[in-house]
Chains A and B, each alone.
Chain A
Amino acid sequence: KQEVTQIPAALSVPEGENLVLNCSFTDSAIYNLQWFRQDPGKGLTSLLLIQSSQREQTSGRLNASLDKSSGRSTLYIAASQPGDSATYLCAVTSASKIIFGSGTRLSIRP
C-alpha cells in the first residue's frame, strides 16, 4: 500500500531564504508526482507535475525533483516571499489512485 510522508509538518524561515520541502513515498511504481499549494480555507492548486520518466520540473522560483528509486521528491523554493506562506502537499499517482501526503505548513517571516 502506497504511503506518502512529508517532513517537517511545519517550517518557518525568514524572507529571502531558499528552502527545500521533502516528500517520500514507499512504492516506487508511480505514474507521476504532483506538488500542490493550499491556502487557508481554500482548495488545492497544482504547482508542478513530474511524470515518472522525468527527473525535475521548474516553474518560476519553484523546482521539483523526483528520484523514484529512492522514493523521494523535493520542492525547492528560491528567494522565498511572504506570499509563499501556505501548506504544500505532494501527491503520488500509483495503481490508479492519487495519494496525498499530510503537507508541510510553510511560514515566511517578513
Chain B
Amino acid sequence: DAGVIQSPRHEVTEMGQEVTLRCKPISGHNSLFWYRQTMMRGLELLIYFNNNVPIDDSGMPEDRFSAKMPNASFSTLKIQPSEPRDSAVYFCASSTRAVNEKLFFGSGTQLSVL
C-alpha cells in the first residue's frame, strides 16, 4: 500500500491567492482527517470525515477554509483567500474507523503564504 498521499509537497503562494491541498487516503479507510501543524500551536484538527461525510469541522479556523470529500479516495482542503498566517504544514490522515484505530499520516504539504 502506498500510504496516505498528499499533494503538493510544497506550496508557495502570494496573499490573496486560492490554495488547494489534495489527499488520497489509504484504500479501505473510511475516516479522513485534516490537521495543521505550526510551532506555536502544534497539531490542530481542522476537520474530519467519516464515510465521505464531514462529522466535525469545528476546527476550521474561518470561512476562508473549506474541505470536501467527493468520494472515498479523494479529499481537498481549500483556502480562499490565503493569508500569511495560514503558513503551516497541513497533514492528511486516515484510519479504518473514526476514533478507535491507528491513524496513518501523509507526508504533509508545507504551505508558505507570502
Pairwise interchain contact B102-A46, C-beta atoms closer than 8 A: yes
Pairwise interchain contact A93-B56, C-beta atoms closer than 8 A: no
Q: Which residues of the other chain, B, contact A103 by a CB distance below 8 angstroms? A: 42
A50 CB to closest chain B CB (Å) equals: 11
Please count the residue pairs between chain A and chain B whose beta carbons lie under 8 angstroms apart in the complex.
Answer: 48
B49 CB to closest chain A CB (Å) equals: 13
Pairwise interchain contact A97-B45, C-beta atoms closer than 8 A: yes
Pairwise interchain contact A42-B107, C-beta atoms closer than 8 A: yes
Interface residues of B in 13-37 (CB under 8 A from A): 33
Q: Which residues of the other chain, B, contact A97 by a CB distance below 8 angstroms? A: 45, 56, 99
Interface residues of B in 99-114 (CB under 8 A from A): 99-108
Given contact pairs A43-B108, A44-B91, A44-B105, A100 touches B42 in the complex (Cβ within 8 A): yes
B41 closest partner in A (C-beta): A102
Given contact pairs A31-B100, A44-B91, A93-B100, A100 touches B105 in the complex (Cβ within 8 A): no
Is A45 at the interface (CB under 8 A from chain B)? Answer: yes
Q: Which residues of the other chain, A, contact B42 by a CB distance below 8 angstroms? A: 100-103
Bound state CA distance, A102 and B33, in angstroms? 18
Given contact pairs A96-B56, A98-B45, A103-B42, A43 touches B106 in the complex (Cβ within 8 A): yes
Binary contact track A17-37/B, C-beta < 8 Å → 1, others 0? 000000000000001101010
Bound state CA distance, A69 and B97, in angstroms? 26
A34 CB to closest chain B CB (Å) equals: 7
Given contact pairs A34-B103, A44-B103, A96 touches B45 in the complex (Cβ within 8 A): no
Binary contact track B30-68/A, C-beta < 8 Å → 1, others 0? 000100000000110100000000011000000000000
Of the candidates B43, B55, B101, B107, the one whose C-beta lies within 8 Å of that of A96 is B55
**Could you write out 8 A-B pairs with CB less than 8 Å apart?**
A43-B106, A51-B100, A91-B103, A96-B56, A98-B99, A100-B42, A100-B43, A101-B42
Q: A residues touching B (Cβ–Cβ < 8 Å)?
A: 31-32, 34, 36, 42-46, 49, 51, 89, 91, 93, 96-103
